[in-house]
Structure 1
Amino acid sequence: MIHTCIPYASRASDKNIGAVYNNFMNMIPDADWACFLDHDAMFTTLDWYKQLEDIVESLSVSHHDAGLLTVCTNRIGNFEQIIQGIEPQNHDIYYHRKIGKQRQIEYGNSLRECEHLISGVVILISKDVWKKTSGFADGFLGVDNDIDRKIRELGYKSYIIDGVYCYHWYRADGIPMQGMGYSEDSNLSAI
Structure 2
Amino acid sequence: MVLVTVIVPTFNRKEYLKKCLDSVYKQTSKIFEIIVIDNGSTDGSLEYLKKCKNLKVIENDSNLGASVARNQAIKISQGKYIWFLDSDAEAKSEDCLKNMINMMDNDSNLGEIGGEETFFDNKYQVRISNTQRNQDGVFIYSTSVKNREVDYIATSNCFVRKDLLISVGGFDPGYFYGYEDNDVGFLIRKLGYKNVIDDGIMAYHYIDKQTRLSNFFRFHKNRVRFLVKKENLLFLLFLPLIDVITTLKILPKRIEELKKRELKDIGWYNKEKKSKDDHIVVKVVKLGTSYSSNLFLAYLWNLAYLPKTLYTRRNNKFL
Is the Cα contact below 8 Å between 2:7 and 2:84 reproduced in 1? yes
1:189 and 2:224 aligned? no
Higher normalized helix content (fraction of residues)? 2
Q: 1:10 aligns with which of 39, 49, 57?
A: 39
1:47 matches 2:95 = yes
Aligned to 2:142: 84
Equivalent residue number for residue 147 of structure 2: 111
Conserved 8 A contact 1:176-1:189: no
Cα displacement string for residues 63-87 of structure 1 (whole angstroms, at most 9, x for unaligned residues): x2211112241249x94267635xx
Does the C-alpha gap of structure 1 residues 28 and 10 become closer, same or farther in structure 2, counting only changes over 3 Å?
Answer: closer
Deviation at 1:143, TM superposition (A): 1.1
Note closer, same or farther for the CA distance 1:184–1:128 as it changes in structure 2 (3 Å cut). Answer: closer
Match of 2:169 in 1: 134
| Cα drift, residue 14 of structure 1 | 4.1
Residue identity in the other structure for 2:75: N
TM-score (norm 1): 0.67
The alignment yields a C-alpha RMSD, in angstroms, of 3.1
Distance 1:49 1:118 in 2: 16
Offset at residue 18 of structure 1 (A): 0.9
Tell me which of the two structures has the higher relative contact order, counting C-alpha pairs closer than 8 angstroms and 6 or more residues apart: 1
State which drifts further: 122-131 or 45-54. Answer: 45-54
For 2:169 and 2:211, the matched residues in 1 are separated by 31
Q: Which entry has the higher C-alpha Rg, 1 or 2? A: 2
The unaligned stretches of length 5 or more in structure 1 are: 86-102
Quick one: distance in 2 between partners of 1:170 and 1:150? 25
The 2-side partners of 1:41 and 1:3 are apart by 16
**Shift in Å at residue 54 of structure 1?**
1.8
Secondary structure class of the residue paired with 2:163: helix
Match of 1:163 among 186, 194, 200: 200
Count of aligned residue pairs for this structure pair: 157
How far apart, in 2, do the equivalents of 1:184 and 1:52 lie?
Answer: 34
- Rounded Cα–Cα distance in structure 2 between residues aligned with 1:183 and 1:84: 25
Is the Cα–Cα contact under 8 Å of residues 83 and 159 in structure 2 kept in the other structure?
yes
Q: Is residue 67 from structure 1 mapped to residue 111 from structure 2 by the alignment?
A: yes
1:35 alignment partner AA: W
Asked whether the equivalents of residues 34 and 124 of structure 1 are also in contact (C-alpha less than 8 Å), the reply is: yes
Equivalents in 2 of 1:128, 1:176: separation in Å? 31
TM-score of the aligned structures, taking structure 2 as reference length = 0.43
Distance verdict in 2 for CA 1:117–1:126, change over 3 Å: closer
* Paired residue secondary structure (1:74): strand
Q: CA deviation at 1:148?
A: 0.7
Q: Identity of paired residues, percent?
A: 21
**Corresponding residue to 1:145 among 176, 182, 191:** 182
